[in-house]
Structure 1
Amino acid sequence: MAREERFMSRRKYIPALSVIVGALACVGLFSQASYEVAAFVIGLDARIGGAGLTRFVLPPVGSISASTHPLPIQLTVTLQNIDLAVLRTVVFSTPEVLQAVIDTADEWAARILMAYLARLVALGALGAMVGVWLAGVKQLRGLTLAGLTGALLIALIVGLVYATFDQSAFTNPEYHGIIEAAPWMFELVQESLERVEELGQQIQTVAGNLYAVFANLENVGQISLGRVDLLVLHISDIHNNPVAYDFVRQVIGSFPVNFVIDTGDLTDWGTELEAEITTRIRQLNVPYVFATGNHDSPDVVARLRETPNVVLVDEEVQDIMGLRLAGIGDPAAKRYSPEPAGLDELYSIAQAINEHWGRAEDRPDVFIVHNHRVAQQIHPGLFGAVLCGHSHSLEITEREGTVYINAGTTGAAGIRGFQSRNPLPYSLALLHYARSEEGRLTLVAVDGVHVSGLGSGFSLQRTFTEVGRINRIDVETQL
């Protein structure tokens, strides 16, 4: 009798226990949900058990977590998808539209959070009702009471998490996966953005002083060029650096540049978002001849094809304002990896160029490639000039009638250049052509320009070709 009484006494607690277990189990099993925010799909999840923490998951690079609350509940926010087309539209829209999106970010976050909390409370109510139903409670009144109790239980837990949530825990987070490099990355980006603004202001002064130096050069008889019929700007390895196009635009505005030749590596990873930098090319309003580099990709090439003033080089001879051009893109640009081609493949490319054009009767004036190793293997005498980049080092040499020009890095190696204690200079080359008596354009001189990043000056080296009277002068100025 006593045993039956104890059993009956304990049995009355079964409905209450069923409410708690059912509510928590339902939330734990079905709390995961996805929400669209502009260009992003965000996944939210709440798991009961373990240390109380909040985790941000960024596939495939890893996760960031911190102990933000004492209750044994793990909150997870996962970036599930990015619509690059929408993101590109938002990021590169007008400043007014972009600011409007930023201003509504808090409103979006509040709506998503309220919707998710309502989902958790509803799951708590449903789980509690299922729990007591399985425990034998079939009456509507009992099920309704259980549902309300489950909802209140989850609401109480949510309130406790909110009340004890410590955002400052993310000042000392834990990193897992590739993103363990995040502290360095964040510091790099912050310093880079600060330097971009400073550089953008200084580049105007640099271009103005550079123009003054050129004007003085033309007044000195020994190094004057005389008549120039075509001026070509050779740039390379911009690597997403916006300051590079500020500089290029200033040079085009200050000098009678007829067109630009870019020997590749416009971006770093070749993503659709990076390819938006092609809008800066459109704004230059001059023909823009481009040979792909290993950091470019099919997505970048597709955007370049859509840009009206871009001419993509190929092995067919093309005539741009009387100058005959041909070239070949980097084989890595056909893939989605910036890993450069191996030495054997590069050597094979150079050999194919030598064999093909060695047999050809109709050769271009200029041959364009990205990798300097290919350029160095091209036989002298095949072309009047061979243009390249990749090595980030400005170099101008002449061998047996062929001028080899490496423009270095017009983007100062991109974001990596901002971070370096000894940053690479911004570099480019200006090719001066004069028309012969037969009417053919001939390269007579090349100006190599180094511009220090946040330093105090630039250097200009004018190299005359054999046709332009063998003469080499170095001119330097300090701002």
Structure 2
Amino acid sequence: MDGQENEQPTTGDAGAPASGRGRRWALRPRRDRRATGPAPAPWVRVARRVGVALAVLAIALAGVVLGTFAGGRMHTDIGPFRAELTLAPALRGGTTVDIPPLGALQLHSHEGPTHLTVALGALDQRRTEALIDDPASISRASQSAVTDVRNGVLRLGLRTVGMTLLVTLLLAALVFRNTRRTAWAGGTALAVTVGSLGLAASTLRPQAIEEPRYEGLLVNAPAIVGDARRIANDYTKYAEQLQRLVGNVSQLYTTVSALPVYEPAPGTTRVLHVSDMHLNPTGWQLIRTVVEQFGIDVVIDTGDITDWGSEPEASFVGSIGLLKKPYVYIRGNHDSARTAAAVAQQPNAIVLDNSTTTVAGLTIAGIGDPRFTPDKNTSPAGSGLTPQVADQVISAGTKLATTIRESPKPVNIALVHDPASAGPLNGVCPLVLAGHTHARQVSKLPESPGQPPTQLMVEGSTGGAGLRGLEGEKPTPLTMTVLYLDQDKLLQAYDDITVGGTGQAQVNLERHVIKDPKAGAEVPVTPTPTR
């Protein structure tokens, strides 16, 4: 009996163990029953934790990359420009300033795995005109540009941090379905993003703007603005060579005049048509030579005498007064109201804007380009225009046609900048002069029943398109045309003068004779002498 009592635990009325010792003995089998097997080895637990950590890190990095691409882009105003700021992951830090169509500047501005791109977009016309009308505002705009960039980059950084955190949390929640691991992934992404941006900010090099690497057309910028002394010496040599070769135009003129074709009759009016100077000072030298050698009576300029229409560029038109000949001008899309005002201040200049004038016996009507778009590329007449812009350009020709019809004197020559404006002038006057395309072209406007034919003459670029002339493999040539109008003020002949593009000085002259101006006969071309 005593042995049996020792083998069985003593219990109370409720069946519970009678002593604490008995209770501990009774619970041991239950703990043993919960065990499913032997405990995993330590290295297995470590490998599992490392795998989870690597998975969290991978999700965090993926969230940073996706979030940066999704949120690291915004638009902001920098001075008169509408700019796009883009932040992207990169192997090394830096900044790209994209200036279409000229190219880009590459700046080693900071360290770290982030790259900033500042793409300067279209000019805001309202702000641009405000800058041009108020010279003091240009200085303020240049000072505020730094603040604009700083504020834009700060907003971009905050936007990027927020987006990377959001994307990472969503991605981790989908993959792990575990609150703690999702939180770890979000914290890791936040640390990586803030750390990368902090590294960029702490290693910022403001002097990087002084050490740019040029791409695209801007590769020519160091040669233009880098070594002023060398450029001055080179330009002097080129100018001397050009003057000597352009002086040979007189010999070409003698050669052509000796051909059994056309001799200018007494009373002939000689008009020099120039266009699209784009700030090239060489164009003025060529104009002065031709004015003297050919006995020009009046110079006609169909616009784009400047590039951006800014206040500093206004001084470029000062050479007009040195010609000592009437200078009739209309504004191009690269010329501002300030440019037109500067031209009007020249003693021999006449600015036409949907108006007429009589000079050297010719009645001339002209209208400025309705656009001011100095940031736009040149395009062929009518191509690449939105319907709204096309209507705007064509309506300029319509307005001028109305002015010509209401003129008390018959208009001999009509002036527009873009050839797309010439259509409404068909049959209204015998000759329309234009520019804009940087490519010389002569054609007849479509004939209308009962209306006399209208000749359209599009000039190339008298300034070799300025900096834009360097875009192609070959520089744009400098071109101008001498028009011969008889006593009835009808075009009887014209000479196309072409000087090789910037850095070249080959001179060509082509004589074209119109057999019957009243009938609009075909235009034969004489042989082309070259010097």
- Normalising by structure 2, what TM-score? 0.53
| Largest Rg, 1 or 2 | 2
Aligned to 1:431: 483
The separation in 1 between residues aligned to 2:431 and 2:346, in whole angstroms, is 26
Distance change (3 Å), C-alpha of 1:227 and 1:207? farther
Residue segments in structure 2 that go unaligned for 5+ positions in a row:
1-94, 98-103, 111-130, 139-204, 379-384, 446-451
Alpha carbons of 1:398 and 1:466: their partners in 2 closer, same or farther (altered >3 Å)?
A: farther
Matched, 1:447 2:495: yes
Q: CA 1:456–1:301 in 2, change beyond 3 Å: closer, same or farther? A: closer
Question: Could you tell me which residue of structure 1 aligns to residue 517 of structure 2?
Answer: 467
2:268 aligned residue: 229
1:348 aligned to 2:387? Answer: no
Per-residue CA deviation, residues 87-139 of structure 1 (Å, 9 max, x unaligned), is 9xxxxxxxxxxxxxxxxxxxxxxxxxxxxxxxxxxxxxxxxxxxxxxxxxxxx
Q: Deviations over 1:347-378 (max 9, x none)?
A: 22233444554576743111111111112x13
> Match for residue 239 of structure 1?
278
| Cα gap change, 1:389 to 1:182, in 2 (>3 Å) | closer
> Among residues 282, 295, 298, which one is paired with 2:337 in the alignment?
298
- Spell out the pairing of 1:26-65 with structure 2 (5 A cutoff): none
CA separation of 1:345 and 1:462: change in aligned 2, threshold 3 A: same
Structure-2 residue corresponding to 1:74? none
Tell me if the contact between 1:398 and 1:465 (Cα under 8 Å) persists in the aligned partners: no
After TM superposition, the structure 1 = structure 2 runs for residues 244-259 of structure 1, keeping only pairs within 5 Å, are 244-259=283-298
1:189 partnered with 2:236: no
Q: Which amino acid in the other structure matches residue 404 of structure 1?
A: L
Contact 1:236-1:263 at 8 Å conserved across structures: yes
Change (3 A) 1:215 1:298: same
CA contact (8 A) 1:261 1:289 kept: yes
C-alpha distance in 1, partners of 2:212/2:268? 62
Q: Where in structure 1 are there 5+ consecutive unaligned residues?
A: 1-54, 68-80, 88-166
**Contact kept in structure 2, 1:462 and 1:475, CA below 8 Å:** no
Cα distance change of structure 1 residues 317 and 428 upon mapping to structure 2, 3 Å threshold? same
State the 1:417 CA deviation: 1.8
- Alpha-carbon deviation of 1:212? 1.2
Q: Give the residue type in structure 1 aligned to 2:497.
A: V
Q: Which range moves more in the overlay, 350-359 or 289-298? A: 350-359
8 Å Cα contact 1:231/1:431 also seen in 2: yes
1:367 aligned to which of 414, 421, 438: 414
> Is the counterpart of residue 416 in structure 1 residue 416 in structure 2?
no
CA contact (8 A) 1:294 1:339 kept: no
Distance of 1:374 and 1:182 partners within structure 2: 30
Does the C-alpha gap of structure 1 residues 477 and 300 become closer, same or farther in structure 2, counting only changes over 3 Å? same
Counterpart amino acid of 1:309? N
- Aligned equivalents of 2:270, 2:286: Cα separation in 1: 17
Give CA deviations for 1:284-337 in whole Å, capped at 9, x if unaligned: 11111000000000221221122111100133331102100111011124x776
User: How has the CA–CA distance of structure 1 residues 348 and 477 changed in structure 2, closer, same or farther, with 3 Å as cutoff?
Assistant: same
In 1, the alpha carbon distance for the partners of 2:326 and 2:409 equals: 23
| 1:177-218 alpha-carbon deviations (Å, 9 max, x no partner) | xx9889635335259947744542232233222211212222
**Percent identity at matched positions?**
26
Contact 1:392 1:408 survives alignment (8 Å): yes
* Residues matched between the structures, number: 325
Please say if 1:203 is aligned against 2:242.
Answer: yes
2:467 partner amino acid:
I
- Cα separation, 1, equivalents of 2:241 and 2:247: 10
Counterparts in 2 of 1:140-155, with a 5 A limit?
A: none
Q: Which moved more, 1:236-245 or 1:275-284?
A: 275-284
Q: Distance in 2 between matches of 1:386 and 1:465?
A: 19
Distance of aligned partners of 1:422 and 1:413 in 2 relative to their CA distance in 1, 3 Å threshold: same
Shift in CA distance, 462/339, structure 1 to aligned 2, threshold 3 Å:
closer
Q: Which moved more, 1:312-321 or 1:387-396?
A: 312-321
Q: Does the residue aligned with 1:187 lie in a helix, a strand or coil? A: helix
TM-score normalized by the length of structure 1: 0.58
- Partners of 1:459 and 1:475 within 8 A in 2: no
Superposed CA RMSD: 4.2
Aligned CA distance change for structure 1 residues 197 and 364 (closer, same or farther; 3 Å): same
- Structure 1 292/171 Cα, relative in aligned 2: closer, same or farther at 3 Å? closer
**How far did residue 383 of structure 1 move?**
0.7
Contact 2:256 2:511 in 1 (8 A): no
Q: Distance in 2 between matches of 1:200 and 1:338?
A: 30
- Shift of the 276–467 alpha-carbon distance from structure 1 to 2, 3 Å rule, reads same
| 2:300 is the alignment partner of 1:261 | yes
Looking at secondary structure, tell me which structure has more strand per residue: 1
Q: Distance in 2 between matches of 1:308 and 1:339?
A: 32
- 1-structure distance, mates of 2:251, 2:217: 44
Deviations 1:413-433 (A, max 9, x none): 002224643111111111112
Find the residue that maps to 1:475 and give its secondary structure: coil
State which of 437, 447, 458 in structure 1 corresponds to 2:508: 458
Query: What are the Cα deviations for residues 259-285 of structure 1, in whole angstroms up to 9, with x where unaligned?
Result: 100000000000111111111111111
Structure 2 Cα separation of the partners of residues 380 and 465 of structure 1: 21
In structure 2, give the amino acid aligned to 1:407. Answer: E
Match of 2:127 in 1: none
